Amino acid sequence: MSRLASIHDNLPLSRSVLEVPKSATLAINEKSKLLQQQGHDVIRLGLGQSPFPVPDIMVSSLKANANSKDYMAVQGYLPLREAISDFIHRTEGLHRTADNVIIGPGSKELLFGLQMVLECDLVLPAPSWVSYEPQARLMGRQVFWLPCHAKDGWKLTADTLDRHCRQHDSRTQLLILNSPNNPSGACFHQQELKDLARVAEKHNLIILSDEIYSELHYQGEHNSIAQYYPQGTIISNGISKWAGAGGWRLGFFIFPDALKPVLQSMIVVASETFTSVSAPIQMASISAFEGSEDMKDYINACRKIMRAIGLQLTDRLVQQNINLVTPEGGFYNLADFSNYKEGLLKNGINHANSLSQKMLEATGIAALPGKDFGLDHGLNLRLAFVDFDGAQLLSRVLKNPDLALDSETPELKRLFSVSDRLGEWLKNL
Residues that bind ligand PLP (CB under 6 A): 48, 106-108, 129, 178, 182, 210, 212, 238, 240, 246, 251
* Residue with smaller CB distance to ligand PLP, 251 or 310: 251
* Residue with smaller CB distance to ligand PLP, 132 or 388: 132
What are the angstrom distances between the C-alpha of 113 and each of 22, 103, 122, 173, 278? 21, 12, 14, 16, 18
Rounded-to-integer distance, Cα 209 and Cα 372, Å: 20
Least gap, CB of 236 to ligand PLP (angstroms): 7
* Residue with smaller CB distance to ligand PLP, 282 or 419: 282
Least gap, CB of 36 to ligand PLP (angstroms): 22
Three-state secondary-structure class, residue 126:
strand
* Residue with smaller CB distance to ligand PLP, 46 or 251: 251
Instruction: Output the DSSP codes for 385-398.
Output: ---S-HHHHHHHHH
Least gap, CB of 246 to ligand PLP (angstroms): 5
Least gap, CB of 337 to ligand PLP (angstroms): 23
Max Cα distance, the chain (Å)? 70
Helix H or strand E segment including 144: strand 143-147
* Residue with smaller CB distance to ligand PLP, 182 or 356: 182
125 cis-preceded (ω within 30 degrees of 0): no
Pair 126, 144: CB distance under 8 Å? no
Helix H or strand E segment including 101: strand 101-104
Rounded-to-integer distance, Cα 95 and Cα 88, Å: 8
Pair 339, 323: CB distance under 8 Å? yes
Least gap, CB of 112 to ligand PLP (angstroms): 10
Least gap, CB of 330 to ligand PLP (angstroms): 8
Least gap, CB of 294 to ligand PLP (angstroms): 22
Least gap, CB of 111 to ligand PLP (angstroms): 7
* Residue with smaller CB distance to ligand PLP, 298 or 332: 332
- Residue 85, amino acid: S
* Residue with smaller CB distance to ligand PLP, 238 or 329: 238
Instruction: Output the DSSP codes for 303-338.
Output: HHHHHHHHHHHHHHHHHTT-EEPPP-BSSEEEEE-G
Least gap, CB of 388 to ligand PLP (angstroms): 18
User: Which of 387, 347, 346, 349 lies closest to 365 in space, CA to CA?
Assistant: 387
* Residue with smaller CB distance to ligand PLP, 182 or 314: 182
Which residues fall within 8 angstroms of residue 387, CB to CB, at 6 or more apart? 43, 44, 45, 51, 414, 415
Give the Cβ contact number of residue 127 at 10 Å: 25
Closest residue to ligand PLP, judged by C-beta, is 106
**Bridge-based pairing state of the strands 173-178 and 380-384:** unpaired
Query: Crossing angle for the helix pair 279-289 and 56-64, nearest 10 degrees?
Result: 150
* Residue with smaller CB distance to ligand PLP, 85 or 240: 240
* Residue with smaller CB distance to ligand PLP, 243 or 422: 243
Least gap, CB of 81 to ligand PLP (angstroms): 16
Which residues fall within 8 angstroms of residue 361, CB to CB, at 6 or more apart? 35
